[in-house]
Amino acid sequence: MKTLKIIIIIFFIYPTSNLKAEDLEMKNKITKNLRCLICQGQSVYDSDSEFANSLKIIVDKKIDEGLSEDQIYEFFKNKYGEWILYDPGLNKNTYILWLLPLLIFLAGGAIIYNSFIVKK
């Protein structure tokens, strides 16, 4: 009886999900790349929040509807903006993000080569 009571309480304060164990690979991959917008830096995959659980259901539905991975990303990008995707593609907003570290690497190499290494 007591167990039942606790279960009932949990129903109302605990995020629940309604998932089948199918299409998991793809779903995991997608949910790992989606940000749980209301959590602090967790992916939807890692989170149990209300928001994340609803999102997982939507991902499930979209997979069932036969949408491809990119189409699903596009869907969420439309709803919530690029902010929801963890893997920012290379575009005008992110050139600096992707290329600056590589430039720093090259510059570092050049500095080391020029100023420290004895040339023949």
Partner 1 sequence: MRNKILSISIFLFFSIVFIVFFKGLKETNIYTPDLDIKKEIPFFHAKDFYTGKKLNTSDIFKLDQTYLLNIWSSWCVPCRKEHPLLLSLNENKKINIIGMNYKDNKIKAEKFLKELGNPYKRVFEDLEGTIAIEWGAYGVPETFLIYNNKIIRKYIGPLNLNIIEEIKLLIK
Partner 2 sequence: MIYSLVGHYSLVLGLIVGLTLFYFSFKNFNNATILNSKILSFTFLQFFFVVISFLCLIFSFVFSDFSNETVFNNSHTTKPLFYKISGTWGNHEGSLLLWLLVLTFFIFIFLIKTKNQPIKYKILTLVFQQVIIIGFFIFLIKTSNPFNYLFPIPVEGLGLNPILQDPALAIHPPILYLGYVGSSIIFSSVLSATALKMISISWATHIKKWILTSWIFLTLGILLGSIWAYYELGWGGFWFWDPVENVSLMPWLALTTLLHCIMVLEKKNILSSWTIILSIATFTLSMCGTFLVRSGILNSVHTFANDPERGVFILIFLFILIFLSLFIFFFFHKDNEKNSNQFFWLSKETSILINNWFMMYFLSVVLIGTVYPIFLDVISSEKISVGPPFYHKLIIPFLIPFLLMMAIGPKLKWIKSDFENKFYLICLLLISIFLAYFILKSFNQKILINTILISSALYLFFITIRDFFVKKYKNMSQNISHFGFSLLILSILFNNLFSSEVITNLKVGETFENSKVNIYFESIDSKKSKNYDSIIANFNIRNSNGEEDKLSPELRIYNQPVIATSEADIKTSLISDKFIVVNLVQNQDYFNVRYQVKPLMMWIWISVILISFGGLISLIKKNHEK
Token output for 101: 């570290």
Other CB atoms within a 10 A radius of the CB of residue 65 amount to: 9
Q: List contacts with partner 1 (CB under 8 A).
A: 11-13, 18, 37-38, 50-51, 53-55, 57-58, 61, 79-81, 83
Q: How far is the CB of 71 from partner 2 (least distance, A)?
A: 18
Q: How far is the CB of 65 from partner 2 (least distance, A)?
A: 21
On the 0-12 / 13-18 / 19+ scale of CB atoms within 10 A, 66 is exposed
Residue nearer to partner 2 on the CB measure, 25 or 65: 25
Q: Is 90 in the site for partner 2 (CB under 8 A)?
A: no
Residue nearer to partner 2 on the CB measure, 71 or 82: 82
Q: Which long-range contacts (CB under 8 A, 24 or more apart) does 27-31 make?
A: 27/56, 27/59, 27/60, 27/63, 29/69, 30/59, 30/69, 30/72, 30/73, 31/55, 31/56, 31/59
Residue nearer to partner 1 on the CB measure, 42 or 54: 54
Contact pattern from residue 11 through residue 40 relative to partner 2, giving x for each residue in contact according to CB under 8 A and a dash for the rest: x-xx-xxxxxx--x---x---xx-x-xxxx
Residue identified by tokens 């979209």 is 62
When binding is defined by CB under 8 A, the residue of 66, 70, 78, 115 that contacts partner 2 is 115
